[in-house]
Amino acid sequence: MKYGRLNIIVGCVVIFIAALGGFALGFTIENNLNDDIYMVSYTRLLLKAGHTHGMPFALYNLIIGSLADRLELADRMKKRLSYLAIGTLFMPIGLILRGLTGGAMTFAPVVMIGALCFLGSTGIMLKGALDSRE
């Protein structure tokens, strides 16, 4: 496993961190109840979005890590696929940073970088899958 190893390590670490974030959000839910109505602030909404995007992107990295070396791609493209898949994690990081800054648009480009990395990595993955003959 030459190219997917890093994705598997990163995916496992991010799942662990996102799970801790989910615990933190769960333990602070009572602060958001007002007359038994769940009142969520924009800050908390962005923190939840960061948590919920972190989990599937971590799983995406595990999938990429498992499949990258099996695809019919040049080594250079496998390396790009691996790095772009890791780059998808900019999206949940950007969402969390926006949440921590009260929804400031300063970190909106960070979210967009993650989205573009996701599109790029899925395109490379699709090309590799279409070219594979197994």
The rounded distance, in Å, linking the Cα atoms of 15 and 68 is 20
User: Which are the contacts of 116, defined by CB distance < 8 A and separation ≥ 6?
Assistant: none
Domain ranges of the chain: 5-131
Q: What pTM did the predictor assign?
A: 0.87
Token pair for 93: 């990081």
Q: Which of 42, 48, 54 is nearest to 92 (CA)?
A: 54
pLDDT 10s per residue in the chain (134 long)?
A: 788 999 999 999 999 999 999 888 888 776 666 666 667 788 888 888 899 999 999 999 999 999 998 998 999 999 999 999 999 999 999 999 999 998 889 999 999 999 999 999 999 999 999 987 76
Specify whether the CB–CB gap between 46 and 102 falls below 8 A. no
